[in-house]
Amino acid sequence: MRESYREELDDINACLVGMANSVGSAMSTATTALLDADVALADLVIAGDRRIDAVRESIEERCFTLLARQQPVATDLRAITTAMRIVADLERMGDLAEHIAKVARMRFPEHAVPQEVRPIFLEAGHVAESLVAKAGTVIAKRDVETAIELEAEDDVMDQLHKSMFRELLSEDWPHGIEAAIDVTLLGRYYERFADHAVSVARRVIYLVTGERPLSTPAETH
């Protein structure tokens, strides 16, 4: 019994890594849909989010069943409650990728992102993908070093977010209010995506070291 319990815990962890990969693909596809105004890709992301939600439910139930049947203590118990929190972060990251796809869909056949801020969103997409890939590694290997790297990379997203506001507020923003609203919300979605990746990293740091990180990720406005 003890053996299969350990196998189940490992398998749940593998599912979390798989979920991180799915979320990474969703984010990558959503960014392409956004920048290319590609409605077919946007629809793929929107339809795919249901699968990510289903994986969340399945992992939650498996964690619950482990708690009920095996009554783990100490590190194993902490690993399961950590998994239950990580799965919530990952699901939310999937939602945010879906939100980005929905903005692309809403503005189709127009581009939601004007040329001036296109490089910012291209870069934000790359950073988001890198963050979630690192989050997958952190989950797979309980790798504190990568977790710390991940936090540092979140600073890049914050800088991108600030330069996005600078563009919006520059005197020659010619695209009017609607585009400004889209860009503001899109910027928020990328930033929140990054915050949840940081949250995953911090939960693993806490699991491994027992040290609770100082604060929730700083959010720029």
Interface residue list for a copy of itself (CB under 8 A) = 53, 57, 64, 67-68, 71, 73-74, 77-78, 81, 84-85, 88, 95, 99, 102-103, 106, 165, 168-169, 173, 177-178, 180-181, 184-185, 188, 212, 215-216, 219, 221
The CA-atom distances, in angstroms, between 91 and each of 5, 54, 84, 111, 178 are 25, 9, 11, 27, 28
Q: Looking at beta carbons only, is 88 or 208 nearer to a copy of itself?
A: 88
Q: Looking at beta carbons only, is 124 or 137 nearer to a copy of itself?
A: 124
Tell me how far, at minimum, the Cβ of 175 lies from a copy of itself, in Å: 9
Tell me how far, at minimum, the Cβ of 168 lies from a copy of itself, in Å: 6
Q: Looking at beta carbons only, is 20 or 84 nearer to a copy of itself?
A: 84
Tell me how far, at minimum, the Cβ of 23 lies from a copy of itself, in Å: 15
Q: Looking at beta carbons only, is 45 or 84 nearer to a copy of itself?
A: 84
Tell me how far, at minimum, the Cβ of 145 lies from a copy of itself, in Å: 25
The answer to whether 110 touches 37, Cβ cutoff 8 Å, is yes
Q: Looking at beta carbons only, is 145 or 166 nearer to a copy of itself?
A: 166
Tell me how far, at minimum, the Cβ of 149 lies from a copy of itself, in Å: 25
To 5 degrees, how large is the angle CA 144–CA 150–CA 151? Answer: 95
What does the alpha-carbon distance between residue 174 and residue 80 come to, in Å, rounded to a whole number?
51
Q: Looking at beta carbons only, is 134 or 203 nearer to a copy of itself?
A: 203
Tell me how far, at minimum, the Cβ of 39 lies from a copy of itself, in Å: 16
The answer to whether 31 touches 125, Cβ cutoff 8 Å, is yes
